[in-house]
């Protein structure tokens, strides 16, 4: 099992239970909730609601990474993220993550109170990211992707999906530790929906255990995503809560440690029951 990790003032004891990362998109164009929380007051109210519902981490993102999303300017991303962090940090007790691929945003966000960096590129979009995170001495989420949000859905031609995800993550773990990030501060994410077809997304769930030899906690971000919409024939992302629940349960049973979700209250119920079924040591009381 991966080592326990202190994030902010909280200890994450991997394997004992599932942790929930609540999504807080402060963007006008995210696929599910764009424009809902892109003012400081709305973001604070949502963050407080997520914490009250059971979120263990709040993940703040100022740049949409949905398929086809265009890159915004550095100044725009900094403004979105920092204006929210300045309001959140004094009011939010749980660790705050910044969802960014830019080293300068990561640095400014951590200096403003963020506790963890969540990089969908795994440190590949900005070559200063890994050394910056090492200097900041905070954990990082390394995710698998091919291409970028504009091109990723044209780059799904894998010879061996899980082997290639494993290889990418292993390379980036090596690069991260070489840059000075401690192994126990690295979390991995196979990148559901990022350069993956419908069938490939399902394969990741079935084969998630293959990533365990990397000895890092595994984060899964399946919440409300299009593969769930396809299964349910449901075009409205907000109407995919039950489908998300099934995906989250499957992720827990196959080795996920953190679930990145929109619907924290519902997924807390899912994780509590799944943890009781899957993680608790069996007792034979005759």
Whether the Cβ atoms of residue 174 and residue 214 lie closer than 8 Å to each other: no
Q: Is residue 22 within 8 Å of residue 50, measured between CB atoms?
A: yes
Residue that has been written with the tokens 């499957």 in this structure:
250
Q: Residue 260 catalytic?
A: yes
Rounded to the nearest 10 degrees, the angle between the axes of helix 103-111 and helix 74-88 is 20
**Contact in structure between 125 and 145 (CB atoms under 8 Å):** no
Query: How many other C-beta atoms are found inside a 10 Å radius of the C-beta of residue 177?
Result: 15
Which of 107, 185, 260, 268 does the annotation list as catalytic? Answer: 260
Q: What Å distances lie between residue 140 and 184, 210, 217, CA to CA? A: 10, 21, 11
Q: How far is CA 161 from CA 92, 166, 190, 200, 261, in A?
A: 38, 9, 10, 7, 24
Catalytic residue among 107, 225, 240, 268: 225
Closest by CA to 96, choosing from 121, 113, 119, is: 113
Of all helices (H) and strands (E), which one includes residue 261?
strand 258-261
Record the tokens describing residue 191, joined without a space: 């990148």
Active site residue 225: yes
Could you please report the per-residue DSSP string of 55-100? -SEEEEESS--STTPPPPPHHHHHHHHHHHHHHHTTT--S-EEEE-
Q: Which residues are the active-site residues?
A: 225, 260
């Amino acid at each position: 099992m991966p080592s326990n990790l202190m994030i902010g003032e909280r200890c994450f004891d991997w394997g004992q239970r599932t942790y929930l990362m609540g999504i807080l998109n402060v963007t006008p164009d995210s696929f599910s909730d764009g424009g809902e929380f892109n003012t400081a007051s709305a973001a604070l109210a949502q963050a407080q609601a997520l914490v009250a519902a059971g979120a263990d981490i709040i993940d703040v993102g100022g740049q949409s990474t949905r398929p086809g999303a265009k890159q915004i300017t550095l100044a725009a991303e900094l403004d979105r993220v920092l204006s929210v962090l300045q309001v959140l940090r004094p009011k939010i007790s749980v660790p705050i993550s910044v969802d960014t691929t830019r080293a300068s945003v990561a640095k400014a966000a951590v200096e403003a109170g963020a506790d963890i960096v969540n990089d969908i590129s795994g440190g590949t979009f900005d070559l200063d990211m890994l050394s910056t995170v090492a200097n900041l001495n905070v954990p990082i989420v390394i995710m698998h992707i091919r291409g970028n949000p504009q091109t990723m859905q044209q780059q799904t031609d894998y010879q061996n999906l899980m082997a290639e995800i494993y290889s990418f993550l292993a390379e980036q773990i090596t690069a991260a530790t070489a840059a000075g990030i401690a192994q126990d501060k690295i979390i991995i994410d196979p990148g559901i929906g990022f350069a993956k077809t419908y069938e490939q997304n399902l394969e990741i769930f079935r084969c998630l255990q293959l990533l365990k030899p990397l000895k890092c906690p595994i984060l899964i971000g399946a919440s409300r995503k299009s593969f769930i919409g396809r299964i349910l024939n449901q075009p409205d992302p907000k109407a995919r809560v039950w489908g998300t629940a099934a995906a989250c349960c499957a992720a827990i049973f196959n080795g996920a440690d953190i679930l990145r979700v929109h619907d924290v209250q519902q997924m807390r119920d899912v994780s509590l029951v799944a943890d009781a079924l899957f993680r608790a040591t069996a007792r034979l009381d005759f």
